[in-house]
């Protein structure tokens, strides 16, 4: 396992390929340090005895102790520990731990490459295992490049006026492939070792060039990272006891351009151009990544709800209103959402199944139900915090003002609320709330709470695509006298296996082709 210092040392040696505005910068740019501080927690806690049981695992490939963020889930306990780890680490960084998306993608790739090999005689799973050994032995951090630019949303990839609106293979060679395109809304890419690229949607036969998945180092030739950092203004010349932990964290959202990039064969995990029979697996992989990532959200979103509940409870205490009924009602909403979302993830783990590759796959309906509940509540949760805190979280003077010789003592005097709480602690509380709710990064976290891993609409699509509504209606048919008999019905007793899911994709393709032929 690596230390944070080793992680950072390797990063700053990478080639500069990050654009912030019109500046081309390296990994030592201070504007991305906040994100690296978040990743640091995932390394430090793996060496901390208090967190070691959650943050480390035993590799199924080597039998060695590894960081859990490099682990392929092998059983129910792995899924539960991953979920719990995500929750407790998010508490320590005030939001997203940012390292989950890479390993979520690799778990998905482990399922799909095995299925490809079994069905088509490819050697993708062998490539994947070799890559995974490298990934684990070097304790790497990865980003998942999933969301394409998409162009005209009403058209499929091959129908786009701009053929590069979706990432595609422009050439297949003996030694690898050349890819061109872009991925958007990708967290953490400027401070990771590797980029895992996967499709973001279902692909039809004509979309074969777009059915591609691969892994590349973050500074690979032709990879250009257009970055939007979210970070806080760190005050200068303030007392040491005024340090606010929130000011040390950050986020970088990335627009990744693949400008005719060569990917060697050993790093290619799907290529529909080389073999059109692989094309249906693109949608399968897109869905499987979303599935694993949404299960991770059932760990991080409860943590965010708890962080907001903690902030709401603290500001209510500092405002002197913590014992009022409406405060308890609002806190119960935050806490209740956290527990329900986490419970959905736990239940998803308990109802999980082992795929033919040996990778444990969470229950899809429960995972999506939990993630959708979190997304639907995120703005209500921030509304509760803003309601209890008041407008000062958006209008607070800069911290330096409170330590100015002339106006500082007066400003601090009027921060007094609850006489039992020191004014400097009230100031820290409101500065933390400002960071959480009103800053650039706070805005990113709110939108991420809705859209990260898929919006509630995407969770609805995933759930209803897998839920057997026809069988569900039999309950009412029996109760209303339309049917005389009701067979035992339990949704959890009829899981959808990965192979069944793939068969549904294939049937959908055949049905679509028939409809199009009929129209023409």
What does the pLDDT look like over 225-284, one tens digit per residue?
999 998 777 777 777 777 677 778 889 999 999 999 999 999 999 999 999 999 999 999
Whether residue 54 is predicted with pLDDT greater than 90 in this model: the reply is yes
Question: Of 292-301, 391-400, 481-490, which range is least confident?
Answer: 481-490
Q: In the chain, where are the structural domains located? A: 291-464, 470-519
Return the closest-CA partner of residue 246 out of 119, 70, 431, 100: 431
pTM recorded for the entire structure: 0.90
Calculate the alpha carbon distances from 306 to 203, 312, 406, 480 in Å.
39, 10, 39, 43
Q: Which of 181, 167, 184, 183 is nearest to 272 (CA)?
A: 167
What pLDDT does 513 receive? 66
In the structure, what pLDDT confidence band is assigned to residue 127 with cuts at 50, 70 and 90? very high
For residues 313-322, average pLDDT: 92
Give CA–CA dist 378/103, Å, rounded: 25
Given this model, what pLDDT does residue 316 score? Answer: 94
For 88, 187, 300, 393, 497, the CA distances from 99, given in Å and listed in that order, are: 14, 9, 11, 29, 27
Give percent of the chain above pLDDT 90.
Answer: 70
Domain 291-464, what architecture? Up-down Bundle (1.20)
Cβ(219)–Cβ(26) below 8 Å? no
Q: Which residue has the higher pLDDT, 178 or 497?
A: 178
How far CA 90 is from CA of 78, 94, 248, 304, 374, in Å, comes to 18, 6, 14, 7, 15
> Reading across the β-sheet that carries 268-271, which strands appear in turn?
142-145, 194-197, 212-217, 268-271
Under 8 Å between Cβ of 230 and 187: no
pLDDT of residue 180 exceeding 60: yes
Return d(Cα 185, Cα 200) in angstroms, integer. Answer: 12
Task: Give the chain's mean pLDDT.
Answer: 90
pLDDT of 517 higher than 80: no
Place of tokens 């990839």: 157
Q: Could you give phi then psi for residue 146, rounded to 5 degrees?
A: -115, -50
Answer yes or no: is pLDDT of 386 > 80: yes
């Amino acid at each position: 396992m690596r230390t944070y210092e080793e992680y950072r040392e390797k990063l700053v040696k990478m080639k500069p390929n990050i654009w912030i505005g019109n500046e081309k910068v390296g990994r030592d740019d201070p504007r991305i340090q906040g994100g690296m501080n978040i990743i640091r927690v995932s390394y430090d806690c793996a060496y901390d005895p208090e967190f070691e049981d959650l943050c480390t695992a035993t590799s199924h490939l080597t039998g060695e102790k590894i960081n859990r963020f490099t682990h392929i889930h092998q059983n129910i306990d792995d899924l539960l520990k991953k979920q719990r780890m995500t929750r407790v680490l998010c508490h320590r960084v005030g939001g997203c731990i940012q390292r989950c998306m890479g390993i979520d993608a690799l778990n998905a790739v482990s399922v799909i490459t095995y299925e490809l090999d079994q069905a088509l005689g490819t050697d993708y799973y062998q490539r994947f295992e070799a890559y995974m050994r490298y990934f684990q032995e070097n304790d790497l951090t990865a980003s998942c490049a999933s969301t394409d630019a998409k162009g005209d949303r009403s058209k499929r990839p091959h129908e786009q006026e701009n053929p590069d609106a979706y990432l595609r293979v422009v050439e297949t060679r003996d030694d690898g492939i050349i890819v061109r395109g872009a991925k958007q809304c990708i967290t953490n890419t400027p401070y990771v070792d590797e980029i895992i690229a996967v499709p973001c949607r279902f692909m039809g036969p004509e979309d074969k060039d777009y059915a591609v998945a691969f892994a590349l180092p973050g500074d690979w030739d032709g990879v250009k990272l257009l970055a939007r950092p979210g970070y806080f203004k760190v005050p200068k010349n303030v007392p040491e006891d005024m340090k606010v932990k929130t000011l040390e964290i950050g986020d970088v959202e990335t627009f990744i351009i693949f400008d005719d990039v060569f990917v060697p064969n050993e790093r290619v995990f799907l290529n529909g151009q080389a073999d059109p029979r692989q094309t249906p697996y693109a949608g399968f992989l897109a869905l499987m990544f979303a599935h694993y990532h949404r299960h991770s959200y059932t760990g991080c979103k409860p943590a965010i709800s708890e962080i907001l509940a903690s902030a709401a409870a603290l500001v209510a205490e500092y405002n002197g209103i913590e014992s009022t009924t409406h405060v308890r009602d609002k806190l119960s909403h935050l806490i209740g959402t956290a527990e329900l979302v986490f419970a959905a993830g736990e239940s998803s783990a308990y109802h999980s199944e082992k795929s033919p590759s040996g990778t444990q796959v969470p229950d899809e309906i429960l995972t999506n139900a939990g993630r959708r509940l979190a997304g639907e509540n995120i703005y209500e949760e921030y509304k509760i915090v803003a309601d209890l805190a008041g407008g000062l979280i958006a209008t607070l003077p800069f911290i330096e003002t409170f330590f100015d010789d002339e106006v500082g003592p007066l400003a601090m005097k009027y921060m007094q609320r609850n006489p039992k709480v020191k004014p400097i602690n009230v100031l820290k509380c409101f500065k933390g709330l400002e960071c959480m709710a009103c800053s650039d990064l706070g805005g990113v976290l709110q939108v991420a709470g809705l859209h990260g891993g898929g919006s509630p609409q995407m969770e609805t699509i995933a759930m209803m695509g897998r839920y057997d509504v026809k069988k569900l209606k039999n309950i009412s048919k029996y109760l209303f006298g339309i049917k005389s008999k009701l067979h035992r019905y339990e949704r959890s007793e009829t899981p959808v296996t990965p192979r069944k899911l793939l068969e549904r994709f294939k049937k959908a393709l055949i049905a679509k082709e028939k409809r199009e032929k009929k129209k023409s």
